[in-house]
Structure formats: structure tokens, C-alpha cells
């Protein structure tokens, strides 16, 4: 009996929306044969796993269409990703955006034929022979790397692909999809391997959800920080300076200053001490920490007086040396060192993007060195810190524990203790979290905080890493109650993460319309005629003395033009100054959304903006 027939026999409702099945907890095709003892769970198309199955199946349909339309094309991989899918192809020329309508039309033909997906199993050698016969050397490489005795193959019509599945029963279940863009991608992410053409697409359960997603994508384009940032005078990049290097213009520098001042205040309130380490540290120190072995491809190195130095990609080493500079007692712990540290990382040109991926950035980096007994409370303290700060910026978030990667240092015992410490702290705080296997730092597991912005998109920012290994390598100790030396534990953590990246996220989250407390310019004075300028200068001086961030536009231009330009700059308040405002020495505030407030004196406006900022 197939899993589908069994579900029907059990009277499962909405079978037409079931795309796969869990058999004893394992995902499988609906055509899978089962015995009477199997535990079945239907996988509906609108579930996370159901959408992944739908999208991955749609990528196979796209590959079939491309193979039909472009003879000689070679296929590589085509996974499901968040909201969609992609497939990488090797062809005699790069694919173009103009190719997409033709591919999409061919996909519609395939979908209408309602072709079933069929799974077969082959030995690896049989599969290699099959793909070699088709000239598909990328598939042969994948099979050789798998090193498995047998592999599964999925066929729909004339197209067969190496795949572990599962897949939807037939192509006719694909109801709503669209191809979105074409990009270049190196085979297996290696810039020394061939450049492929990657075609992206999206797929949803129905056309309504597809339309909603397309609308959200259009809104995201409007919020694109890489365009909004320069338009708002916040930052820019220049070819003369180099890729991945940000130049902050006056408004952007002010925004950074506000954020950094806010961060310093919040850290001092929570018992952190300010420290600062150098940008260059001897390479032998990076050898000792393990960075040279595990992270050097992301680092820059130089030589001074025949001595090799590494430009820091992280701030932890100097913080450990500060701790080690004197004998510490258990009474001194925890020590919480905080640094707004500028770091440099060698990112490949292809991944650089605006503020989100750069080569120089500043982290709100802190290292907490504590006793093992203090570890639980310290981790919970950081989780509370994250909650408080993200609440101010109106971010929801999700939590994830990333465990030991293959490339790592330290003992299994240390990793188990560190991972359990993170999990226990979240469970004690009644926080839900997911497990992200193998994605920890090379020196310890971590809690990753995934922010959800105004459009529901997820962003990685805060991290909390638990480290038993580096204190061992750097011989960090404290004198305990028994008078003996003991080894402390270290927590590496950031709250906002990279300031550059966080500003980019904020621009998109707020669509550039920052809340008043954060806006680099909180108000702009707009005069109606030249005779209002003396009063405007007086208001400008008064507001600056009150620490209001204010600009002025005294040009002899129409008021409507000045208002429109100020709205485009997304300034929270426009202060209109005409004759009546001059008569009473007041201002008429106008909000950036077009709402007009009553005429008020200058002190009333200062009180208004100060209260709003608080």
C-alpha cells in the first residue's frame, strides 16, 4: 500500500493539498510503500516542509524546461530556498533576463501535462554511467563526492535528476510560480571553478499568496538601503577607495554617533567596562588563538620590521590580554569588556552588498569572563539585553543554537558543556529555539538571533557564543575560594552586531523614516519668504542650544517645493515659518506624513520633540 492510499484510508482531510508524508518521522514521497506498523503524518503544501517540497519540485520543472529549450546545457544543483528556489546551469553563454519568459512559458506547458514524479534507486556506478552518457559531469562529480553505494533519482517526463527527494506527486500540483532573476554563481562557491548561470524563482500554494509575495518584494525594492542610503545622504561607496569600504556622509555619521552613544550608555548601565584593542596584532598571536589555522582566508596580513602581523577580524584577543594583565580573584568576576571595535575581513567581491556585507565594519563586541557557576546567569543577562534593545527598535526575533562545525578546536567535553550552557539558559528563560547543526564558531557554539523586520524578513544580528577553549589556550585563570587557580569561561557576544549591517537593516525596516530619537535630522525650518529669515535664524539657534538636531532651508523658493524635498529626506518635523509665526515668535510643525500640528511657541516644540525622543 502507498502512503497516499493509507492516508486516504485513514480519512485524512484535504488530501488534494498533501504533497508529501512523514513516515515514522522521516519525509517521504506519497508513492512510498509502507507496512501496517508505520506512523504517518501528512505534509500539507502550506507547511514549511510542504512549501520546500513544492519549490524543489518546481526547480526540477524549470531544469526540464531549460534542457528542452537550450540543447547542450548542463545541469548542476537546484535546491529550495526561503520563498523560492534556484537552479544553476552551465551553458555556452550566460542566461539573460530576456530568457525567463520563454522558460516560464515552457514550464507552464510541463505543468499542464501533469507529469508524475517517479523515484528510482541506482547503484552509484549505474548513476555515474547514466550521467556520463548524457555528458552531465557535474552530476558525476556530486555522486563521486557522496561516496554512497546507492543514490536516488527522480524522473518527470524526459528529465532525470540526482535527488534525495521527496517530491510532489505530479507537476500539476504547481499552481503559482514565477521566475524572478538571473545571476552568476561559481560552481560549489569556488571562484576557481566555472561560472554558472543561476536562475531564481518563487512558488506558493496559490496565486493569492504569490501576488502578496510579489507585492512584498516591490515594497522591499522601495526600501533598498543601497539606494535609500545615498539618497538620504547617509553613506556611499567609491570605486577610487575600493569595494566593501563605506564612506559615511554627515547624516550617516550622525546616525552612527547616535547609535554608538546609545550603546555605550546601555552597556555601562549593565556593568560593562569600556576597552579598546589595536587593529594589528602579531601573527603568532593569531596562531595561538586558532584564527590563523581556521580563519586566515578571511584575514589580511602585513609585515613590519620583518615581523608578520594580522589585521584583526575579531576583538577577542586583546580583551583576553587585558584580563590576563593582573591576577584575578573570584570576587572580581564576572568581567564584562565592551568595545566598539573596527575589524576587517576579506570578503569575496561577489558577496559584497551595500552595508550588509562589507570588508571593514565596527562591531558592538563584548567578552564576558566568568566562573562556570556564573555562566547561566550571564547568558540570561545577555538574552535580556537583546530583548530590551530589540524592543526599542520594534523588532521581533527568533532564536537558534548553532552547534559544533567540522572545522573547530577544543575537546568534545568542552563543546558539550558550552552547548548545554546555552540551551539551559534559554530553557530557564522559557525561550523557544531551533537547532542549527554544525554552524557554530570554530571555538564554540552560539545562540543566533534572527530579527524579523517590518516586512517579515529575517536578519542575523545578535550572537552569544560560549567558549571554554580560548581561556585554556591563553591560560586565563582566577583564584577561587580554595586559594587555587581555576579556569574561567568566556562569552563572546554582540547585540546589534556590525554597526554597518544594523544601519542597513534599520534603513529597510523603517523605509528610511527613522523614529525621532534616531533621526540624524529631527526637524527642518522652512521659511515662507525672505522676511521670515531673521525669526528662522533665532529658532535655529534656540533649537541647537536645546540639542535638537535641526537644519534650515531659507532659500527663496516656493514653500511647496521645500516641503516636498524635506519629505523625500524623511525628516520627522518641518517647521513652517510665515508672518503669523513671526508675530508670536512661534512655529507651525508639519509631520513628514503630511499632518499639520497647531501653531506653538518654540519651547512647546522643544518639549514635544524631547518627550517623543524619550
Q: Give the residue numbers marked as catalytic.
A: 316, 345, 363, 365, 367, 446, 492
Report the residue count for the chain: 614
Q: CA–CA separation, 576 vs 553, rounded Å?
A: 10
Q: CA–CA separation, 187 vs 185, rounded Å?
A: 6
Q: Pick the closest to residue 265 from 381, 389, 391, 363 (CA basis).
A: 389
Q: CA–CA separation, 545 vs 523, rounded Å?
A: 14
Q: Show the CA angle centred on residue 351, arms to residues 350 and 353, nearest 5°.
A: 110
Long-range contacts of 164-168 (CB under 8 A, 24+ apart): 165/27, 165/28, 165/29, 165/119, 166/20, 166/21, 166/27, 166/28, 166/29, 166/53, 167/20, 167/29, 167/53, 167/56, 167/57, 167/60, 167/117, 167/119, 168/19, 168/20, 168/53, 168/54, 168/57, 168/117
β 434-436/446-452 pair status: unpaired
**Is the backbone of residue 217 left (phi > 0), alpha (psi -120 to 50) or beta?**
alpha
Are residues 587 and 581 in contact, defined by beta-carbon separation less than 8 angstroms? yes
Cross-strand partners of 176:
204
Q: CA–CA separation, 175 vs 112, rounded Å?
A: 10
Q: CA–CA separation, 592 vs 522, rounded Å?
A: 11
* DSSP three-state, residue 343: strand
Looking at residue 199, the DSSP 8-state letter turns out to be E
Q: Provide the greatest CA pair distance for the chain.
A: 91
Q: CA–CA separation, 340 vs 262, rounded Å?
A: 12
End-to-end CA distance of the chain: 66
Q: CA–CA separation, 614 vs 610, rounded Å?
A: 6
Three-class SS of 298-339: HCEEEEECCEEEEECCCCHHHHHHHHHCCCCEHHHCCEEEEE
Q: CA–CA separation, 426 vs 379, rounded Å?
A: 8
Q: CA–CA separation, 270 vs 382, rounded Å?
A: 10
Cross-strand partners of 463:
448, 494
Location of C-alpha cell 613590519? 304
Q: Report how far apart, in Å, the C-alpha atoms of 143 and of each of 79, 148, 150 are.
A: 16, 8, 9
Positive or negative, the Cα torsion across 17, 20, 22, 23? positive
Amino acid at each position: 500500500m502507498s502512503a497516499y492510499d493509507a492516508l486516504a484510508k485513514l480519512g485524512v482531510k484535504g488530501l488534494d493539498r498533501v504533497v508529501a508524508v512523514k513516515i515514522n518521522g522521516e519525509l517521504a514521497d506519497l508513492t512510498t510503500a509502507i507496512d501496517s506498523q508505520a506512523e504517518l503524518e501528512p505534509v500539507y503544501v502550506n507547511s514549511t516542509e510542504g512549501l520546500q517540497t513544492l519549490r524543489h519540485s518546481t526547480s526540477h520543472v524549470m531544469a526540464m524546461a531549460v534542457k528542452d529549450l537550450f540543447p547542450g546545457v548542463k545541469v548542476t544543483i537546484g535546491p529550495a530556498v526561503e520563498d523560492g528556489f534556484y537552479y544553476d546551469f552551465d551553458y555556452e553563454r550566460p542566461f539573460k533576463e530576456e530568457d525567463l519568459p520563454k522558460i516560464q512559458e515552457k514550464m507552464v506547458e510541463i505543468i499542464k501535462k501533469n507529469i508524475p514524479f517517479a523515484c528510482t534507486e541506482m547503484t552509484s556506478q549505474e548513476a555515474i554511467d547514466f550521467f556520463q552518457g548524457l555528458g552531465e559531469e557535474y552530476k558525476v562529480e556530486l555522486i563521486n563526492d557522496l561516496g554512497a553505494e546507492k543514490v536516488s533519482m527522480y524522473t518527470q517526463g524526459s528529465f532525470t535528476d540526482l535527488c534525495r527527494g521527496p517530491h510532489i506527486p505530479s507537476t500539476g500540483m504547481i499552481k503559482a510560480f514565477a521566475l524572478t532573476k538571473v545571476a552568476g554563481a561559481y560552481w560549489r562557491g569556488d571562484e576557481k571553478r566555472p561560472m554558472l548561470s543561476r536562475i531564481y524563482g518563487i512558488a506558493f500554494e496559490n496565486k493569492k499568496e504569490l501576488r502578496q509575495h510579489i507585492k512584498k518584494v516591490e515594497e522591499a525594492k522601495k526600501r533598498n538601503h543601497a539606494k535609500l542610503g545615498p539618497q538620504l545622504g547617509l553613506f556611499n561607496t567609491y570605486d577610487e577607495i575600493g569595494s566593501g569600504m563605506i564612506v559615511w556622509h554627515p547624516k550617516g555619521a550622525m546616525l552612527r554617533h547616535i547609535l554608538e552613544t546609545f550603546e555605550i550608555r546601555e552597556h555601562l548601565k549593565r556593568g560593562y567596562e569600556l576597552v579598546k584593542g589595536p587593529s594589528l596584532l602579531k601573527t603568532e598571536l593569531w596562531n595561538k588563538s586558532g584564527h590563523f589555522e581556521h580563519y586566515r582566508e578571511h584575514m589580511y596580513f602585513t609585515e613590519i620590521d620583518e615581523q608578520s602581523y594580522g589585521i584583526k577580524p575579531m576583538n577577542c584577543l586583546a580583551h583576553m590580554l587585558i584580563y590576563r594583565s593582573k591576577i584575578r580573584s573570584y570576587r572580581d568576576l564576572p568581567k564584562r569588556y565592551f568595545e566598539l571595535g573596527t575589524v576587517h575581513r576579506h570578503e569575496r567581491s561577489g558577496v559584497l552588498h551595500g552595508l550588509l556585507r562589507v570588508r571593514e565594519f565596527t562591531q558592538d563586541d563584548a567578552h564576558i569572563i566568568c566562573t562556570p557557576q556564573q555562566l547561566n546567569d550571564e547568558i540570561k543577562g545577555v538574552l535580556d539585553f537583546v530583548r530590551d534593545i530589540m524592543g526599542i527598535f520594534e523588532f521581533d526575533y527568533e532564536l537558534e543554537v548553532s552547534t559544533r562545525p567540522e572545522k573547530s578546536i577544543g575537546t568534545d567535553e568542552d563543546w558539550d558543556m558550552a552547548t548545554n550552557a546555552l540551551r539551559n539558559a534559554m530553557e530557564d528563560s522559557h525561550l523557544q529555539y531551533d537547532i542549527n547543526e554544525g554552524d557554530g564558531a570554530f571555538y564554540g557554539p552560539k545562540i543566533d538571533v534572527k530579527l524579523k523586520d517590518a516586512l517579515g524578513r529575517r536578519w542575523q544580528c545578535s550572537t552569544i557564543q560560549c567558549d571554554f577553549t580560548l581561556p585554556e589556550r591563553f591560560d586565563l585563570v582566577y583564584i577561587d575560594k580554595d586559594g587555587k587557580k581555576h579556569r574561567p569561561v568566556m562569552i563572546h557576544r554582540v547585540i546589534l552586531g556590525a554597526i554597518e549591517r544594523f544601519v542597513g537593516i534599520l534603513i529597510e525596516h523603517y523605509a528610511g523614516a527613522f523614529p525621532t530619537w534616531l533621526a540624524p535630522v529631527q526637524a527642518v525650518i522652512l521659511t515662507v519668504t525672505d522676511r521670515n529669515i531673521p525669526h528662522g535664524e533665532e529658532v535655529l539657534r534656540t533649537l541647537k542650544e536645546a540639542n535638537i538636531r535641526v537644519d534650515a532651508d531659507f532659500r527663496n523658493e516656493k514653500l511647496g517645493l521645500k516641503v516636498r524635498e524635506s519629505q523625500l529626506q524623511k525628516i520627522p518635523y518641518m517647521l513652517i515659518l510665515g508672518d503669523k509665526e513671526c508675530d508670536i515668535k512661534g512655529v507651525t510643525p508639519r509631520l513628514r506624513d503630511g499632518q499639520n500640528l497647531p501653531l506653538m511657541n518654540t519651547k512647546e516644540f522643544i518639549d514635544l520633540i524631547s518627550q517623543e525622543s524619550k
